[in-house]
């Protein structure tokens, strides 16, 4: 059986999980893949902290770049994170003609185009299955399983922290700040939670999925991102009454005229929809393929073992390629312009919308709102006045909820602007996308 | 770019879908996989029926075995079905050193062990991604995505016809016979529906999933199979009241003592469970991996385009291997005995159970039932008397529903036998597994 040498840079939580999985699963893995995957080196600046894994003598070291340069290592696994030394390690490995496995979504979203082009040039693999969806083999599904499909759309619940917060808000009726504080106490949210709750982590991931689905590099700063910070409990409740749950949904889809819509928004999802059943820290990705129709992939989006599972799966695939001298798959990612696609402008995105308007007096208001919305080309699907909370009553405002038919976001905003200017609502109405 | 020649045997619904997908998607596929997949021949006894696909001149023929023998065809795709000529085609192709792609679950379930051993011996691939779950890349997920995981359990909703019938019964409150007749009229069920509704199709599929998850050949006649024929609407209703939906669930899991439980049963699934949201003709497979925990795969389990998508995905994988001269993956499947596993006896399977008992007089009955169940080691989780239907009232019997804690199936049956013998129920009580 052919041997392939593997070196791991980064011996933190995931790194230790990968080391453990490779060592304990060695027999299983070689039986399943026909290649002997040999862990030859692990590098980290900190090699004294006990990671709960016993590593054979001579494996652990501190010099990442020396590991990359070793001749008996054909596959380099980058598990450092960030875009500093991680970038250097990946770049030097690729330049040295080694295949790379990484779980670093930030690196891929920011430097992916350059690194994939380099991998292509050197004829090596750059695999990244753990960067989106943790243990869910979604990258593999898009790359191989749906190879015959034009991808019409990808919808994802991609951030476990957000989904955990949203699930608890809906289940317990607790306010955002309260649940966030609790999630931080429990270790489900970072001390600085911005990357998660403001949607940037989800944006990194949908950018990677877009690159796989459409073969283009989508610059992160062109993804429309809205997070869940400060989401109001009243909207969670009204959504529930209407049969919906609110999820932080990432969307990437092809629209008419070769336009790509790539965005992240809190979105009302029907409870009966498969994505509406995705609770707690779980992630899911729905892919609408031209031949398969909807397929969905669900599992833990994070965590040591789940992420390590995805990294090892990549290591095995890459090792089989190395053993066989297979032509590599890494494609260079053209820019949006070079691909013939254009990014859909946020105002041109079409969605059904949930609107909450706070009014002094509901009587006759739905008619006025409907007229203004209609003048802007926005049709109403349903409208209702919901029970006001105590605080709302004290403030002298009652909520009116309107659900629209599919409408242009720009048209909706213009209509809401006009409603606001007429002084018949407390403040600019709140609106959210609906699936 | 390397060329790989493909020949398709069977030009029916799926065959035509594969031909269309290969012809229209040729550019997309070669760009994505780096190999030029050349459709060189299609064989079917009937080449006059219009399949709605225009095939280039010289491709269509009637001689399957001549196609298999052609030197410029390296990959043979078997889409005939059944175990007659399909078996001959696959066997001759493998013997001639060609890789084979098939969607034929019956062939694999009945002759898989022999054919996989032959593929291994000749160093070629035998791929079968479309045989389970249609367009859902579940085989690929088990084979590659979860390669680092010991599989703890696989649960599947694998038959679209059954799921369609069960969904309509629950949604509309219509009786089994009525919905079946309608499904036959609509083309969702065969004129002879036994293969679907009696669970055999599902059994074929779980046998294939078991072979992937545990690397063993599970003889079809050792799978415990119970279908949905004659499922009573009252149980669908009571399940609904209790927060469950009834699904035809296939289970394959490893139990203590290296025992494999492989069975197909109508099963109560919580509505809030991901598998409880799988409706209509959709399929889903839940895999509990040692590293990933639960992952779930969902999509259309049948249909021309979805099945063709899976077949093409296999063709592409196999073609890449052919082009690269990669060591083949097909493993010989040991028998259950040779693998060190033993099949769990049906009576040793442990599950929570739903029991419906029809009694003349409910008063005091729950206590008597609980005592008898308890004497057999079966604990009660919940018990309730449900509103009787008109027919039940006329017959003079009212239903008592009992949900148990996890119990041995054999213990449950012994207890129900004793209850029946005491003459306090109308007939042998009905019981169903619960997830």
Average pLDDT over residues A314-327: 83
Nearest chain A residue to B324 by CA distance is A326
CA distances in angstroms from B21 to A133, B10, B26, B54, B290, listed in the order given: 29, 15, 8, 12, 37
Mutate to test the interface with B, among A245, A299, A329 (most CBs of B within 10 A): A299
Q: What pLDDT score was predicted for residue B362?
A: 67
* Chain B residues touching A276 at Cβ < 8 A: 277
* Chain A residues touching B29 at Cβ < 8 A: 147-148
Kindly determine whether residue B148 and residue A306, on different chains, have CB atoms separated by under 8 Å: no
Kindly determine whether residue B277 and residue A273, on different chains, have CB atoms separated by under 8 Å: yes
Distance from CA of B156 to the nearest CA of A (A): 14
Whether A349 has a pLDDT exceeding 90, the answer reads yes
Kindly determine whether residue A141 and residue B146, on different chains, have CB atoms separated by under 8 Å: no
Kindly determine whether residue A34 and residue B141, on different chains, have CB atoms separated by under 8 Å: no
Cβ atoms within 10 Å of B107's Cβ, excluding its own: 24
Helices (H) and strands (E) in chain A, counts: 16, 18
The phi, psi pair for A362, rounded to 5°, reads: -75, -25
Residue among B136, B150, B289 minimizing CB distance to A295 = B136
Please give the Cα distance from A358 to A380 (Å, whole number). Answer: 17
Residue among B295, B306, B313 minimizing CB distance to A135 = B295
Average pLDDT over residues A274-296: 96
The gap between the terminal CA atoms of chain B, to the nearest Å, is: 50
Please give the Cα distance from A178 to A371 (Å, whole number). Answer: 39
* Chain A residues touching B128 at Cβ < 8 A: none
Q: What pLDDT score was predicted for residue B153?
A: 97
Q: Identify any residues that bridge with A283 across adjacent strands, giving them in sequence order.
A: A299
CA distances in angstroms from A336 to A105, A211, A219, A340, listed in the order given: 19, 10, 8, 7
Nearest chain A residue to B299 by CA distance is A295
Mutate to test the interface with B, among A6, A132, A291, A302 (most CBs of B within 10 A): A291
Q: Is A23:A40 a contact under the CB 8 Å cutoff?
A: no
β pairing state of B259-270 and B224-225: parallel
* Chain B residues touching A312 at Cβ < 8 A: 147-148, 291
**Angle B153-B159-B161 from CA coordinates, rounded to 5°:** 155
Please give the Cα distance from B52 to B210 (Å, whole number). Answer: 37
The phi, psi pair for B298, rounded to 5°, reads: -140, 140
**Given A98, A105, A106, A205, the catalytic residue:** A205
Residue among B34, B279, B300 minimizing CB distance to A329 = B34
Q: What pLDDT score was predicted for residue A311?
A: 95
Residues 6+ apart with CB under 8 A from A371: none
Helices (H) and strands (E) in chain B, counts: 16, 18
Q: What pLDDT score was predicted for residue A73?
A: 97
Q: What pLDDT score was predicted for residue B84?
A: 94
Nearest chain A residue to B301 by CA distance is A292
Q: What pLDDT score was predicted for residue A112?
A: 87
**pLDDT 10s digits, A51-70:** 989 999 899 999 999 999 99
Counting Cα atoms < 13 Å in the Cβ hemisphere of A421 gives: 7
* Chain A residues touching B137 at Cβ < 8 A: 140-141, 144-146, 295
Confidence of residue A331 (pLDDT cuts 50, 70, 90): low
Kindly determine whether residue A309 and residue B149, on different chains, have CB atoms separated by under 8 Å: yes
CA distances in angstroms from B212 to A34, A144, A300, listed in the order given: 15, 18, 22
Mutate to test the interface with A, among B27, B127, B137 (most CBs of A within 10 A): B137
More confident site: A303 or A335: A303
Average pLDDT over residues A28-50: 89
- Cα Rg of chain A, angstroms: 24
Q: Is B153:B344 a contact under the CB 8 Å cutoff?
A: no
Average pLDDT over residues A330-353: 84
* Chain B residues touching A136 at Cβ < 8 A: 292, 295
Nearest chain B residue to A23 by CA distance is B148
* Chain A residues touching B316 at Cβ < 8 A: 144, 147-148
Which residue has tokens 């709302």? A392
Kindly determine whether residue A289 and residue B309, on different chains, have CB atoms separated by under 8 Å: yes
Q: Is B14:B79 a contact under the CB 8 Å cutoff?
A: yes
How far does CA A56 lie from the centroid of its chain? 36
Q: Name the burial class of residue B219, with classes exposed (0-12), middle (13-18) and buried (19+) by CB atoms within 10 angstroms of its CB.
A: middle
**Given B98, B106, B205, B247, the catalytic residue:** B205
Kindly determine whether residue A293 and residue B300, on different chains, have CB atoms separated by under 8 Å: yes
Kindly determine whether residue B21 and residue A317, on different chains, have CB atoms separated by under 8 Å: no
* Chain A residues touching B143 at Cβ < 8 A: 32
**pLDDT 10s digits, A198-248:** 999 999 999 999 988 998 888 888 899 999 998 999 999 999 999 999 999
Cβ atoms within 10 Å of A256's Cβ, excluding its own: 7
Residue among B32, B145, B308 minimizing CB distance to A140 = B145
Kindly determine whether residue B317 and residue A137, on different chains, have CB atoms separated by under 8 Å: no
Q: What pLDDT score was predicted for residue A31?
A: 81
Please give the Cα distance from B133 to B152 (Å, whole number). Answer: 20
Q: How many Cβ pairs closer than 8 A exist between chain A and B?
A: 199
Whether A321 has a pLDDT exceeding 90, the answer reads no
State the pTM of this model. 0.91
> Six-digit token pair at A352?
């059904």
Q: Identify any residues that bridge with A253 across adjacent strands, giving them in sequence order.
A: A153, A261
More confident site: A320 or B280: B280
**Angle A158-A159-A160 from CA coordinates, rounded to 5°:** 120
Q: What pLDDT score was predicted for residue A370?
A: 92
Q: Catalytic residue at A205?
A: yes
Please give the Cα distance from B25 to B78 (Å, whole number). Answer: 20
Which residue has tokens 């991604």? B129
Kindly determine whether residue A277 and residue B278, on different chains, have CB atoms separated by under 8 Å: no
* Chain A residues touching B300 at Cβ < 8 A: 292-295
- Cα Rg of chain B, angstroms: 24
In a 3-state reduction of DSSP, which class is residue B306? Answer: helix
Say which DSSP state B431 is in. Answer: E
> Over chain A, what is the mean pLDDT?
91
A242-256, A323-337, B297-311: segment of lowest average pLDDT = A323-337
Please give the Cα distance from A57 to A48 (Å, whole number). Answer: 14
Kindly determine whether residue B300 and residue A316, on different chains, have CB atoms separated by under 8 Å: no
Per-10-residue mean pLDDT, chain B, length 435: 93 94 88 88 93 91 96 96 95 96 90 89 90 89 89 96 97 96 91 93 93 88 93 95 96 94 97 94 96 96 90 92 69 75 94 93 83 96 81 81 96 96 90 96
Q: What pLDDT score was predicted for residue B329?
A: 55
Residue among B148, B325, B326 minimizing CB distance to A25 = B148
In a 3-state reduction of DSSP, which class is residue B354? Answer: strand
Residue among A134, A141, A272 minimizing CB distance to B277 = A272
* H/E segment holding residue A180: helix A176-186
- Of A142-146, A361-365, B177-181, give the range with the top mean pLDDT: B177-181
The phi, psi pair for B365, rounded to 5°, reads: -70, -40
Q: Identify any residues that bridge with B355 across adjacent strands, giving them in sequence order.
A: B402, B431
């Amino acid at each position: 059986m052919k041997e392939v040498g593997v070196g791991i840079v980064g011996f933190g939580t995931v790194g230790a999980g990968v080391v453990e999985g490779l060592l304990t699963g060695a027999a299983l893995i070689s039986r399943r893949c026909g290649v002997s995957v040999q862990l030859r080196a692990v590098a980290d600046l900190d090699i004294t902290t006990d990671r709960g894994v016993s590593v054979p003598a001579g494996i652990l070291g501190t010099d990442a770049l020396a590991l990359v340069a070793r001749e008996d290592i054909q596959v380099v696994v980058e598990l450092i994170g960030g875009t500093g030394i991680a970038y250097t390690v990946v770049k030097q490995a690729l330049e040295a003609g080694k295949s790379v496995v990484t779980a670093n979504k930030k690196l891929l979203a920011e430097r992916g185009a350059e690194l994939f082009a380099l991998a292509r040039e050197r004829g090596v693999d750059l695999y990244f299955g753990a960067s989106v969806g943790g243990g869910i083999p979604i990258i593999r599904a898009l790359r191989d399983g749906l190879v015959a499909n034009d991808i019409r759309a990808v919808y994802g619940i991609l951030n476990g922290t957000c989904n955990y917060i949203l699930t608890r808000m809906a289940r317990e009726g607790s306010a955002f700040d309260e649940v966030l504080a609790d999630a931080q106490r429990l270790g489900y949210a970072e001390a600085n939670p911005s990357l998660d709750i403001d949607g940037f982590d989800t944006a990194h991931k949908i950018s990677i999925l877009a690159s796989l689905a459409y073969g283009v590099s989508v610059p992160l700063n062109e993804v429309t991102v809205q997070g869940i910070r400060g989401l109001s409990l009243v909207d969670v409740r009204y959504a529930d009454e209407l049969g919906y749950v609110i999820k932080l949904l990432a969307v990437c889809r092809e629209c008419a005229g070769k336009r790509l819509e790539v965005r992240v928004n809190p979105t009302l999802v029907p409870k009966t929809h498969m994505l509406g059943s995705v609770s707690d820290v779980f992630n899911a990705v729905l892919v609408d393929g031209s031949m398969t129709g909807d397929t969905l992939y669900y599992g833990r989006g994070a965590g040591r073992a789940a992420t390590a599972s995805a990294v090892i799966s990549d290591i095995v695939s890459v090792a089989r390629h190395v053993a066989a001298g297979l032509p590599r798959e890494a494609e260079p990612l053209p820019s949006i312009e070079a691909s013939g696609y254009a990014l859909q402008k946020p105002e041109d995105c079409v969605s059904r919308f949930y609107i909450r308007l706070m009014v002094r007096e509901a009587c006759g208001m739905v008619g006025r709102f409907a007229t203004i919305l209609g003048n802007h080309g926005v049709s109403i699907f349903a409208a209702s006045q919901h029970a006001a909370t105590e605080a709302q009553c004290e403030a002298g405002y009652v909520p009116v909820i309107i659900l629209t038919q599919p409408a242009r976001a720009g048209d909706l905003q213009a209509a809401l602007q006009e409603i606001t200017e007429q002084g018949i609502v407390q403040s600019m109405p709140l609106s959210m996308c609906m699936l």
